[in-house]
Structure 1
Amino acid sequence: MNNHKKLVSPILTRLTAGSENKKNSQVVLQELKEGVRFDLECLFNARYRCFSADSKYQHLEDSLLNYGLPDLSTINLSTQVARVKFCRQIEETITKFDPRIKSARVSASDNIDHDDPSIRFRVEARLFTNPAPETVIFDSSLNPVTQLIAVSEVYNDR
């Protein structure tokens, strides 16, 4: 019996790609990781509305009205406590809006570089992949001037 399992593309991708576009597991996995990285960057750079909906519309809490992060110019990230709270908020946002990620852990960097005022944090996530979950790590940096967050994958850091 062959115990080596092969990563496969989602069914819709396989059906629409046709037989001429077969990819190996490594290519499929790398494309998935790049897609997740891009989507996380979009999620982190989107800002949700700043007012609450009426309590009778509870389903709006998980809707696209709340897609993204709060306005970062209103958050003081100069203390460790504030950065930890911000990391928990990012974790909740990731698990709420990206169903490919089963669990996420976000940690802020304690290293402060006075020449580079960017705030750095790391996302460690478990991707739901077929046939087995895959761990992926992304480093992110928040530019305090532009309020934009850049996300890059960390390779071979396990």
Structure 2
Amino acid sequence: MARPEPDQPLLPSVLDRLIDLEPGTTTEARPRASARLEELKRSVRRDLEWLLNSRRLLASPPPGAEHAPRSLLSFGLPDFSHVSLENSEHREALRRTVEEAISRFEPRLMAVEVTMPEGDALRRGVRFRIEGLLRVEPSPEPVSFDSTLRLPTRDFVVED
């Protein structure tokens, strides 16, 4: 990822640049730097939720397809609907998979670490804590998100 100049404004994601929340307005007001940072964090949170709720099309890449692991065919998580999340080994495997997917497909975050709080009950879901550094200038900004995998539906909710 190219590093922007220190005086360059934070660049929203491609999706955020394509969405026009005020189509009747011909010019957009420039938000303050702190507002842009909060907006960027919200954008990352939303995109993390989309990533974690997407399922891969490929279980494993075909032979000779060296770029497949970083392509849209591998975007998201593998299907884990058959996995027993009451098993601690399966939960740990899912934690690693979540961490790898974020590291691979969310370029705005670096030094990603996903942890699972100890002693959490499985009644409603499996909780994850996502921590990393948001790539902004002049220095990376620490961020963290709390995520819950809801057991009945197997969907993720990501919160600030």
TM-score (norm 2): 0.79
Calculate the aligned-residue CA RMSD, in Å.
Answer: 2.5
Question: Which amino acid in the other structure matches residue 130 of structure 1?
Answer: E
Deviates more, 1:102-111 or 1:27-36: 102-111
1:104 aligns with 2:119: no
Matched, 1:25 2:26: no
Q: Is the 8 A contact 2:58 2:73 kept in 1?
A: no
- Residue 112 of structure 1, CA deviation: 3.1
Secondary structure of the structure 2 residue equivalent to 1:52: coil
Separation in structure 2 between the aligned mates of residue 117 and residue 22 of structure 1, nearest angstrom: 42
Name the CA distance, whole Å, in 1 between partners of 2:114 and 2:48: 12
Aligned to 1:125: 132
What is the deviation of 1:7? 8.2
Offset at residue 19 of structure 1 (A)? 7.9
- Superposed, 1:62-141 pairs within 5 Å as 62-113=70-121, 116-141=123-148
Greater helix proportion: 1
Gaps of 5+ in 2: 1-5, 18-25
| Preserved contact between residue 7 and residue 28 of structure 1 (Cα < 8 Å) | no
Q: 1:143 is matched with which residue: 135, 150, 153?
A: 150
8 Å contact 2:131–2:144 — kept in the other structure?
Answer: yes
| C-alpha distance in structure 1 between counterparts of 2:127 and 2:8, whole Å | 32
Secondary structure of the 1:138 match is strand
Structure 1 regions of 5+ residues with no counterpart? 154-158
Structure 2 residue identity aligned to 1:107: T
Alignment coverage as a number of residue pairs: 145
